[in-house]
Structure 1
């Protein structure tokens, strides 16, 4: 079982076992998981195990935590370790100033958020020159102390007159008193409890307000030209839209909050009762809030709102990307890929059922050339020559004109086996111009490579899409407005998860695909392919141990996700890890069957009749692992994507003018966002199913109902021909009235 190191490295120091245990207890409470699950997971991660490996092959140790739960633990332990490091750094700095008290150190150690630590550290942070620091240099701190003592008697101006000193730049009693007020104002603004309360109040009671800088100018931000909404109720997409409008200098955005309740709260903390300086302190409080607290708290609250909005946008992109990557492959068909264009013509690429390129060509059926007859001849030639069954068209420029043309070609042929499909071509141009594409197709131009990518996307979406930088695939909202580092990390995680969920054929996989396999980096991936090219196809998983830079730890992490479909050892084509091969051998001895029977109906029937609970004890193996083994033995070589419905193939094209409210259509979900889903119904622009139209019941988020690639039945709600917009519903008009 994984054990935690006696001291775990963090930055330049180490976490003590006590601190690490405190972190584990906190994560256990936050995520509602047992201490054992969290402790074991942290230990496995510290040993260098990957999330996919732990989720699949260490289920007994973690109590069958899934990938999402494991990633939550990983994220929180990383945050809390960094928090502990920051705490130690802050304590060290304050101690060096000889200002560290037992109470302050305890407060810092008890903090559970980085913001709390920074609030506590704020009074001790080295500041640039401020009004307060200037006043202190002038020797006015004792006057500030006198004011804060809140004497019952005494004239503040008379007391301030004692500090008049022209040599120090204090010309009058008013100057002295103002300096003391500046010192007190900064002290109030630096109070951690005050900042925490004002931050919370601003978040709860603040109103986001946006105004147009030039109201007469048209822009996509017109709905925000005179807009206000409670900050805590703002949905993520509106926050990001406002931020973008502000960044583009179209909008002025502010966070407004009533100041009087804040003044009262601060006064309750600092004003002890009636005194000779009470009015003065009320003035100081108002100044401290307006000048020092409000601007920074507004930045912090807006920063927090933006962070939440970004996390939501990244989550949506990640969910959509996973759905796109796990689209079912369309196997066994020769495909003609079409990269549409106007002036430069449509680039064509025919690939066989394995994705091998057979021929490229260019035709000009779209404006301004309109050479439809010549184009039809070339299409028919390629279809006949290579027995093409499916034409795949990219959804970019000129796609609908190309679709219209392809539909006409199919109609003229009256070929029942031939159909077409529109696919999302996002990122195809990025791939086409990449070094990877140049190496793969050195003799093709950029557009021809794009046509190949479009054709292959339908045959094996995962294998093709991993060649593209994930954020270039473009299935989300506001992906360009979020922190790119966080987006990249999240999307890489999604691709890694999808690749390992499906598994990889080590004898056909590209370096791009292999680099996402658990434990494999880009260098190791290239070494695997190079070894394969130099030595021929891998015959067994064991052979991978001979690949340069693929050490024992990497082998352990990756080997269960790598398949050898036609190797020497039958189990090498299953997800069963070699560490469990002995279990399988003992099982087969007990069943009196041979490995050669793997995949047979007879073996599947025998396996289905077994009682895993009893068998696990007999074989000395964990029940979760045994269940996975039995499932893999019953369906060796199974691709989990094949259980999903295939995309809708079309033979004819719709125009927006053909649509009318109430019309029932079949469509494919192309994108899911906060406020609904866009559905391809075969017209130029995708129709929108608003979140309120996804179901007869309450929908918290569209992703709870639909995913990219889903085939859905929709009904037309509205048609705006001028704007090219179609409103759709998934609520059956025939049923909704009765519900």
Structure 2
């Protein structure tokens, strides 16, 4: 495809201008990162965000692969001396890989098939004769091909039919038509194979299930796939066979008067059943799975983004509690900077149940340290630990509140090399308690130490292509880190390596130099970091902040390339760099006109606005816009719940069919998609996000199964009576 055609195609698909696509591709080709382009090249791209830029990058990569495949296919067909001008044009005009493969299919070198065997016996001319629908007797014509390898006329006709069947299966136009009919009219059908293996009846709804292919939703596809993989379900695509046979007859049997017509009729049935149907079914199952995986990855990515961007609780002393039964609850006290002050273990629960001793240790910690918040992990024994904390706080003068913290991935971190380096003298379980405390203080800084897929905030994440999942989640982490920015004097190498342009090696070099020489006082000092070259410096430096730097601009998100502009703006209202962030500066800068500043400095208005914002609020944290965690002082039991009861809760997970909300009892409640708000909801993510604090009402309680149904629709109690 011509470059302009490529740009137009991507622009149309992503609903942006071709020039924006062109600029992004050029910036990427120059070695710029997605976060850098999104933040510091807004004038060039028209303020495209990270997701839009990544979509352009991915789509452009796909088209490059498509063009390479077209070239390869044309070469392979040409080597067979079968390339025609029309075929070459059709291949070059294809906009998807599937179309290219359909066109190449008739020319693809096949391993041994019934058709290749028949061709080797010299039966291809007989196949041509049959498809020409002659009026002569096929058996008489077939008799001419009886020889040493062909023992009779019927065998000759069968071989010719095998050749024709393969031709029919490979014909691209008909294949595409059959594919469309199948998509529109086929049904996915499941039946149980080994019910005894489904001990918890997880797949019960699919024991005898049927749904149109066009309507089945992604999470059901992944559930069916898992049931099939575990050999509990048998899955088939039920196709409109009669309709497809009719379409094939209309194309290939133009007259029923020929004696050959009956042979072609049988060949059509064989071609579809043996060659076309299994292939199309594999394609459809593959596409359904791909769409379902993409949806699952999208859900996981959105949930992870919202988890990473949970607001930090700055300046708080936190007591982290990693709950457990047999091994006891591990306690970790961290100060307002995240420094570990004390580690301990208590046994308030069976089997040891040393309740009084546990209370004594707990109360002493509250007495010895100015604990603001107790962070309780939401794993095993979480609710029992919550009850213990709530009851013990009543016997204390402490004003501390407690909060349930999602501890997903804490055990992965605890056993990791990063954790061993940080706390070589602690046991695995003790490191978990520290992680739980710190992820309340600064979720982003702590969660980046964990492999993203280990943070269980999705659906069916173990059933999707892991390479795609990891790539998507890594992009989410990178985007979140760069949106927030990083304090280069406190950040771990785990956090630094997600900064635009920085590799793991460079991140470690920054930490090593900081350990040797003390804190950085200027951004320019980072130029001395081994393996941090000029291009890397350009890509990373705007996201690296130095608090209390010699130059106050080094503590902002303003890129050094805009320092002169920033100083010019400050001079215009008689301010110095030392004034930035003050109320005086905010009032003075607010009086300036963006359009006039842009004209005076020959800079775009978008850049002017960004620089002004950062001069007025240099310490602004995008996470502050998200809801603070829900702090509690007392505990709620499942027996306390009543239908219609109003509660506040924290959204812990969002899936295709609804949202799970922590309302303070042992089991999270489910708000079904139909109960999120009045009217149609396309997807739960359109209404709620992970970490949201929501008001819910108890809709149904199933104490036996431990299930709670919630609603966000007020005045629905009548329907539940």
Classify the TM-score, shorter chain. Answer: over 0.9
Give the match for residue 660 of structure 1. Answer: 642
1:685-724 equivalent positions in 2, closer than 5 A: 685-724=667-706
Query: How many residues are paired up?
Result: 716
Give the match for residue 56 of structure 2. Answer: 73
Give the match for residue 115 of structure 2. Answer: 132
Give the match for residue 84 of structure 1. Answer: 67
User: Per the alignment, in what secondary structure is the counterpart of residue 728 of structure 1?
Assistant: strand
Give the match for residue 523 of structure 2. Answer: 541
Which whole-Å CA distance do the structure 2 matches of 1:476 and 1:682 have between them? Answer: 21
Give the match for residue 155 of structure 1. Answer: 137
Which whole-Å CA distance do the structure 1 matches of 2:544 and 2:316 have between them? Answer: 25
* C-alpha contact 1:140 1:180 (8 A) present in aligned 2: yes
Which whole-Å CA distance do the structure 1 matches of 2:484 and 2:694 have between them? Answer: 24
Give the match for residue 678 of structure 1. Answer: 660
Superposed CA offset, 1:456-492 (max 9, x none): 0100000000000000001000000000000000000
Using the TM superposition, give the Cα deviation of residue 418 of structure 1 relative to its aligned residue in structure 2, in angstroms. Answer: 1.1
Residue 185 of structure 2 is aligned to residue 202 of structure 1 = no
* C-alpha contact 2:570 2:576 (8 A) present in aligned 1: yes
* C-alpha contact 1:314 1:487 (8 A) present in aligned 2: yes
Using the TM superposition, give the Cα deviation of residue 32 of structure 1 relative to its aligned residue in structure 2, in angstroms. Answer: 2.3
Give the match for residue 542 of structure 2. Answer: 560
Residue 475 of structure 2 is aligned to residue 493 of structure 1 = yes
Give the match for residue 584 of structure 1. Answer: 566
Question: Cα RMSD (Å) of the superposition?
Answer: 1.2
From 441, 445, 450, the counterpart of 2:432: 450
From 292, 311, 331, the counterpart of 2:294: 311
Using the TM superposition, give the Cα deviation of residue 297 of structure 1 relative to its aligned residue in structure 2, in angstroms. Answer: 0.5
* C-alpha contact 2:195 2:232 (8 A) present in aligned 1: no
User: Per the alignment, in what secondary structure is the counterpart of residue 538 of structure 1?
Assistant: coil
Superposed CA offset, 1:531-565 (max 9, x none): 11112111111111110111111111111111001
Which whole-Å CA distance do the structure 1 matches of 2:497 and 2:265 have between them? Answer: 63
* C-alpha contact 2:644 2:717 (8 A) present in aligned 1: no
* C-alpha contact 1:667 1:712 (8 A) present in aligned 2: yes
Give the match for residue 599 of structure 2. Answer: 617
Superposed CA offset, 1:60-102 (max 9, x none): 1111112221111111101110010111111111111111111
Which piece of structure 1 moves more, 725-734 or 499-508?
A: 725-734
From 153, 156, 178, the counterpart of 1:176: 156
Give the match for residue 473 of structure 1. Answer: 455
Residue 705 of structure 2 is aligned to residue 731 of structure 1 = no
Residue 378 of structure 2 is aligned to residue 398 of structure 1 = no
Residue 393 of structure 2 is aligned to residue 410 of structure 1 = yes
Which piece of structure 1 moves more, 543-552 or 480-489?
A: 543-552
Superposed CA offset, 1:244-282 (max 9, x none): 000000000001111111111122222222322112111
Which piece of structure 1 moves more, 64-73 or 450-459?
A: 64-73
User: Per the alignment, in what secondary structure is the counterpart of residue 419 of structure 2?
Assistant: helix
* C-alpha contact 1:428 1:450 (8 A) present in aligned 2: yes
Using the TM superposition, give the Cα deviation of residue 697 of structure 1 relative to its aligned residue in structure 2, in angstroms. Answer: 2.0
Which piece of structure 1 moves more, 261-270 or 79-88?
A: 261-270
TM-score by length of 1: 0.96
* C-alpha contact 2:580 2:615 (8 A) present in aligned 1: yes
* C-alpha contact 1:318 1:491 (8 A) present in aligned 2: yes
User: Per the alignment, in what secondary structure is the counterpart of residue 733 of structure 1?
Assistant: coil
Using the TM superposition, give the Cα deviation of residue 20 of structure 1 relative to its aligned residue in structure 2, in angstroms. Answer: 3.2
Using the TM superposition, give the Cα deviation of residue 203 of structure 1 relative to its aligned residue in structure 2, in angstroms. Answer: 1.3
Residue 40 of structure 2 is aligned to residue 57 of structure 1 = yes
Which whole-Å CA distance do the structure 1 matches of 2:5 and 2:411 have between them? Answer: 50
Which whole-Å CA distance do the structure 1 matches of 2:245 and 2:700 have between them? Answer: 52
1:202-601 equivalent positions in 2, closer than 5 A: 202-215=182-195, 218=199, 219-274=201-256, 275-413=258-396, 415=398, 417-601=399-583
From 17, 23, 28, the counterpart of 2:6: 23
Which whole-Å CA distance do the structure 2 matches of 1:616 and 1:340 have between them? Answer: 57
TM-score by length of 2: 0.98
User: Per the alignment, in what secondary structure is the counterpart of residue 28 of structure 2?
Assistant: helix
Which whole-Å CA distance do the structure 2 matches of 1:736 and 1:233 have between them? Answer: 32
* C-alpha contact 2:650 2:691 (8 A) present in aligned 1: yes
* C-alpha contact 1:507 1:537 (8 A) present in aligned 2: yes
Which whole-Å CA distance do the structure 2 matches of 1:516 and 1:283 have between them? Answer: 62
Where in structure 2 are there 5+ consecutive unaligned residues?
Answer: none
* C-alpha contact 2:699 2:717 (8 A) present in aligned 1: no
* C-alpha contact 1:565 1:637 (8 A) present in aligned 2: no
Which whole-Å CA distance do the structure 2 matches of 1:567 and 1:446 have between them? Answer: 37
Superposed CA offset, 1:195-235 (max 9, x none): 21111211111101110003466431111000110011011
Which whole-Å CA distance do the structure 2 matches of 1:584 and 1:619 have between them? Answer: 10
Which whole-Å CA distance do the structure 1 matches of 2:328 and 2:136 have between them? Answer: 90
* C-alpha contact 2:331 2:345 (8 A) present in aligned 1: yes
* C-alpha contact 2:595 2:605 (8 A) present in aligned 1: yes
Which piece of structure 1 moves more, 659-668 or 270-279?
A: 270-279
Residue 166 of structure 2 is aligned to residue 186 of structure 1 = yes
Which whole-Å CA distance do the structure 2 matches of 1:54 and 1:736 have between them? Answer: 54
Where in structure 1 are there 5+ consecutive unaligned residues?
Answer: 1-17
Which piece of structure 1 moves more, 391-400 or 475-484?
A: 391-400
User: Per the alignment, in what secondary structure is the counterpart of residue 548 of structure 1?
Assistant: coil
* C-alpha contact 1:661 1:718 (8 A) present in aligned 2: yes
* C-alpha contact 1:679 1:687 (8 A) present in aligned 2: yes
Superposed CA offset, 1:583-610 (max 9, x none): 0111122222111111111110011111
User: Per the alignment, in what secondary structure is the counterpart of residue 336 of structure 1?
Assistant: strand
Which whole-Å CA distance do the structure 1 matches of 2:630 and 2:18 have between them? Answer: 48
User: Per the alignment, in what secondary structure is the counterpart of residue 87 of structure 1?
Assistant: helix
User: Per the alignment, in what secondary structure is the counterpart of residue 214 of structure 2?
Assistant: helix
Which whole-Å CA distance do the structure 1 matches of 2:71 and 2:2 have between them? Answer: 12
Which whole-Å CA distance do the structure 2 matches of 1:718 and 1:414 have between them? Answer: 38
User: Per the alignment, in what secondary structure is the counterpart of residue 677 of structure 1?
Assistant: strand
Give the match for residue 623 of structure 2. Answer: 641
Residue 594 of structure 2 is aligned to residue 650 of structure 1 = no
* C-alpha contact 2:194 2:231 (8 A) present in aligned 1: no
* C-alpha contact 1:314 1:490 (8 A) present in aligned 2: yes
